[in-house]
């Protein structure tokens, strides 16, 4: 149980275009979803936290107008990188948790974004 | 959330126990200790968590000191597939954000044949 999927697993796009990444909880209802970014040889950096049906809470330094997050249902959150540039190339990882217990987070497999 | 300190890297022989230390001297009474690992180019994988007592599951054991200022993750019989970056994180469980995880640099464990 507690499986999280991401789509696509890899995406290559041209500079200036927008890219949407989907995160789905397959066998549970995720009350909260998180989005992380990881650059090569670095640790995961939390970008934002989203609760179903409400606006995402962004970490300091993360531009909310550039990284649009929609958590429309209890099983789906999307991250849209708008007007992507080469410096946005990174590994984007989502996680999901459900209320109750110690709120473990279950991570997706990640999406490798390359902006040319 | 409290910060953690881990050694940047460790080696372990295949089949032997891997003991990964973590210091969290500023941990609060309501913060849990969580361990995750990340195999290269994959999402992190939950391993184990605990509050005060030692915990064991099919993957590992977690030993938390009585003062809760440090802990050790034990992989009893390390295999080559256990080669990964291991993250020790302390956080409050629950709350309206579900307790966000703040990742440090972790320990890069290399299991060698």
Per residue in A48-102, pLDDT (tens digit) is 998 888 889 999 999 999 999 998 888 999 999 999 999 999 999 999 988 765 5
The larger pLDDT score, comparing residue A72 to residue B47, is at B47
Are B57 and B48 in contact by the 8 Å Cβ rule? The answer is: yes
Q: Which of A6-15, A45-54, B23-32 has the highest mean pLDDT?
A: A6-15
* B interface test, pick of A55, A99, A104, A111 with most B CB neighbours within 10 Å: A104
Inter-chain CB proximity B97 and A46 less than 8 Å: no
Least confident among A47-51, A73-77, B59-63, B89-93 = B89-93
Answer left, alpha or beta for residue A87, where phi above 0 means left and psi between -120 and 50 means alpha.
alpha
Q: What is the average pLDDT across B12-32?
A: 94
Inter-chain CB proximity A102 and B44 less than 8 Å: no
- Collect all residues of chain A within an 8 Å Cβ-Cβ radius of residue B50: none
Q: Give the tokens for residue A28.
A: 């549970």
- Predicted local distance difference test score (pLDDT) of residue B77: 95
**Confidence bin at B27 (pLDDT 50/70/90):** very high
- Predicted local distance difference test score (pLDDT) of residue A31: 85
Q: Which of A46, A57, A109 sits opposite B43 (nearest CB)?
A: A109
Answer left, alpha or beta for residue A75, where phi above 0 means left and psi between -120 and 50 means alpha.
alpha
Place of tokens 């929609």: A70
Are B35 and B101 in contact by the 8 Å Cβ rule? The answer is: no
Answer left, alpha or beta for residue A100, where phi above 0 means left and psi between -120 and 50 means alpha.
left
What average pLDDT does chain A have?
92
- Predicted local distance difference test score (pLDDT) of residue B95: 53
Nearest to B61 by CA among B46, B81, B76, B80: B76
Inter-chain CB proximity A103 and B99 less than 8 Å: yes
The larger pLDDT score, comparing residue B93 to residue A105, is at A105
Nearest to A25 by CA among A34, A36, A16, A15: A34
Q: Which of B43, B98, B102 sits opposite A107 (nearest CB)?
A: B43
Are B21 and B7 in contact by the 8 Å Cβ rule? The answer is: yes
Q: Give A105 to chain B, closest Cα distance, Å.
A: 8
pLDDT at B94 over 70: no
* B interface test, pick of A103, A107, A109 with most B CB neighbours within 10 Å: A103
Q: Give the tokens for residue B8.
A: 């940047």
Largest CA distance in chain A: 43
The larger pLDDT score, comparing residue B55 to residue B2, is at B55
- Predicted local distance difference test score (pLDDT) of residue A105: 85
pLDDT at B93 over 70: no
Nearest to A37 by CA among A50, A26, A46, A24: A46
pLDDT at B98 over 60: no
How many beta-carbon pairs under 8 angstroms link A with B? 68
* A interface test, pick of B59, B97, B107 with most A CB neighbours within 10 Å: B97
pLDDT in tens, B68-85: 999 999 999 999 999 999
Inter-chain CB proximity B43 and A108 less than 8 Å: yes
**Which residues of B lie closer than 8 Å to A, measured between beta carbons?**
32, 34, 36, 38, 41-46, 49, 87, 93-106
**Confidence bin at A1 (pLDDT 50/70/90):** low
Nearest to B110 by CA among B36, B20, B41, B13: B13
Q: Give the tokens for residue B113.
A: 């044949």
- Predicted local distance difference test score (pLDDT) of residue B97: 47
């Amino acid at each position: 149980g507690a499986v999280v999927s991401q789509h696509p697993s890899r995406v290559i796009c041209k500079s200036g275009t927008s890219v949407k990444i989907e995160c789905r909880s397959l066998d549970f209802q995720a009350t909260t979803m998180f989005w992380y970014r990881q650059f090569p040889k670095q640790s995961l950096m939390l970008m934002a936290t989203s609760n179903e049906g409400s606006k995402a809470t962004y970490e300091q330094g993360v531009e909310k107008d550039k990284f649009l997050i929609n958590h429309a249902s209890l099983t789906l959150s999307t991250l849209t990188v708008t007007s992507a540039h080469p410096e946005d190339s990174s590994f984007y990882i989502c996680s999901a948790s459900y209320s109750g217990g110690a709120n473990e987070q279950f991570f997706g497999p990640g999406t490798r974004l390359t902006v040319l | 959330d409290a910060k953690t300190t881990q050694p940047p890297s460790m080696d372990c022989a295949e089949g032997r126990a891997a003991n990964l230390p973590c210091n969290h001297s500023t941990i609060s009474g309501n913060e849990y200790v969580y361990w995750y690992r990340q195999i290269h180019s994959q999402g992190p994988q939950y391993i184990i968590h605990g509050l005060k007592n030692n915990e064991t599951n099919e993957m590992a054991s977690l030993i938390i000191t009585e003062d809760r200022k440090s802990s050790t993750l034990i992989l009893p019989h390390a295999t080559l597939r256990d080669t990964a970056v291991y993250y020790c994180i302390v956080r409050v469980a629950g709350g309206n954000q579900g307790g966000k995880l703040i990742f440090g640099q972790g320990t890069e464990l290399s299991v060698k044949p």
